[in-house]
């Protein structure tokens, strides 16, 4: 598959068709209207092979939080799960009940967000999803295995004498991403999985229980809404991600994009998840990875993730690892 625009197989962002009523670009016809993988199509066999050949030491770093973190869940509509262990003379068995699949380190499937009245990725409607379209099982069967790239924005700003306050609404622009990548001497390649570090999770894990409880129920916006740094939600960011052929993107913060959402600036989830078919990861545990990358002065690695093979699932624990 050729990945260049204009005369190539895959168009650049500005060459994509638009939703006539809004002018927003979409990729619904790039891989065919029946496609359910979206930008995971950018992960070609050569990208997987190159990622494997890039492994030097065989060190494996888990990128998943314990399933009960954050606790309490930031959304007050998601109560904690119940884990029950059953004992017998033969040994043990166990079960989970009331487990919300998007409460810890997780992926959003293409079922998660629709683009207003125009539908989900590919223009699909609720009845299509009810029949299983765009479920997390589609991602699970494909797997997410490629080169990973850590973009450590917090470390870059700290090195340059600037702070990235975890409780403030600070938009991370494409210009800042370019600057961080240049400082890390990394060029993005087609199929890369981008992992963004803002430092938010480091800050959260240092809070006491009262501090964590004070964040619950504040993700929905309005007065006292949760504020945190994240990707700028504008068209420039969607263009940057698509034109770099990013296959999936995740961050260590609650929503990948900056919070609270600004209606005038738009909603990045809609722009990349629904319109471009790009999976979004949240609450990724990346601090250990960041330390190792800084020690090695290398911010690329083999990335593996196995979402749950749950038919029709909307989300899944990330079950992700960096292999260096």
Could you list the residue range(s) of the whole structural domain that residue 292 is in? 13-323
Asked whether residue 5 is domain-assigned, the answer is: no
Contact 293, 28 (CB under 8 A): no
Radius of gyration, alpha carbons of the chain:
19
The answer to whether the CB of 252 falls within 8 A of the CB of 198 is yes
Between CA 82 and CA 85 the distance in angstroms is 10
Instruction: Tell me if 6 is assigned to some domain.
Output: no
Closest among 324, 308, 247, 322 to 62, alpha carbons compared: 322
In a domain, 7, yes or no: no
In this prediction, residue 186 carries a pLDDT of: 98
pLDDT value, residue 221? 64
CATH value at residue 188: 3.50.30.50
Q: Is residue 73 part of a domain?
A: yes
* pLDDT, tens digit, 9 for 90 and up, residues 41-81: 999 999 999 999 999 999 999 999 999 999 999 988 888 99
Are residues 101 and 314 in contact, defined by beta-carbon separation less than 8 angstroms? Answer: yes
- 197 lies in some domain: yes
The answer to whether position 8 is within a domain reads no
Distance CA 282, CA 119 (A): 23
Q: What is the pLDDT of residue 8?
A: 55
Full DSSP string of 290-322: HHHHHHHT--EEEEEE-----TT-SEEE--EEE
The reported pLDDT for the residue numbered 256 is 98
End-to-end CA, the chain: 27
CA angle 164, 288, 145 (to 5 degrees): 105
Half-sphere exposure of 240 (CA within 13 A, CB side): 18
Tokens for 292, please give them: 């190792």
At 210 the pLDDT is 95
**pLDDT tens digit sequence for 161-211:** 999 999 999 999 999 999 999 999 999 999 999 999 999 999 999 999 999
pLDDT score recorded for residue 2: 45
Q: What three-state secondary structure class fits 242?
A: helix
The two structure tokens encoding residue 9: 């197989």
**pTM, whole model, 2 decimals?**
0.95
Q: Is residue 158 part of a domain?
A: yes
Quick one: tokens of 272?
A: 């990349």
Regions of the chain with pLDDT less than 50: 1-2, 5-7
CB count, 10 Å around CB of 183? 14
Give the count of domains, the chain.
Answer: 1
């Amino acid at each position: 598959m050729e990945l260049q625009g204009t005369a190539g197989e895959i168009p650049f962002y500005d060459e994509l068709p638009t939703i006539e009523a809004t002018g927003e670009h979409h990729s619904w016809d790039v891989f065919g209207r029946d496609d359910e993988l979206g930008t995971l199509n950018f992960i070609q066999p050569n990208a997987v092979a190159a990622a494997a050949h890039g492994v030097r030491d065989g060190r494996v770093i888990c990128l998943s939080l314990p399933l009960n973190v954050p606790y309490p869940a930031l959304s007050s509509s998601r109560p904690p799960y119940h884990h029950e262990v059953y004992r017998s003379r033969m040994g043990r068995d166990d079960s989970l009940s009331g487990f919300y699949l998007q409460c810890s380190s997780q992926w959003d499937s293409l079922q998660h967000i629709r683009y207003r009245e125009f539908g989900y990725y590919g223009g699909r409607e609720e009845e299509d999803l009810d029949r299983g379209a765009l479920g997390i099982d589609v991602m699970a069967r494909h797997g997410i295995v490629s080169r990973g790239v850590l973009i450590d924005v917090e470390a870059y700003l700290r090195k340059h004498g600037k702070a990235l306050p975890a409780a403030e609404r600070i938009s991370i622009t494409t210009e800042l991403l370019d600057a961080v990548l240049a400082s890390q001497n990394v060029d993005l390649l087609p199929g890369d999985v981008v992992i963004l570090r803002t430092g938010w999770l480091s800050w959260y894990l240092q809070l006491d229980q009262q501090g964590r409880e004070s964040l619950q129920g504040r993700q929905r916006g309005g007065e006292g809404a949760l504020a945190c740094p994240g990707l700028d939600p504008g068209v420039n960011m969607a263009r940057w991600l698509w034109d770099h052929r990013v296959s999936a993107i995740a961050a260590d913060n609650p929503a990948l994009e900056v919070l609270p959402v600004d209606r005038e600036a738009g909603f990045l989830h809609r722009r990349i998840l629904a319109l471009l078919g790009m999976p979004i990861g949240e609450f990724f545990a990346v601090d250990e990875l960041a330390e190792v990358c800084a020690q090695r002065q290398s911010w690329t690695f083999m990335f593996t993730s196995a979402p749950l093979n749950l038919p029709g699932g909307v989300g899944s624990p990330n079950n992700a690892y960096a292999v260096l």
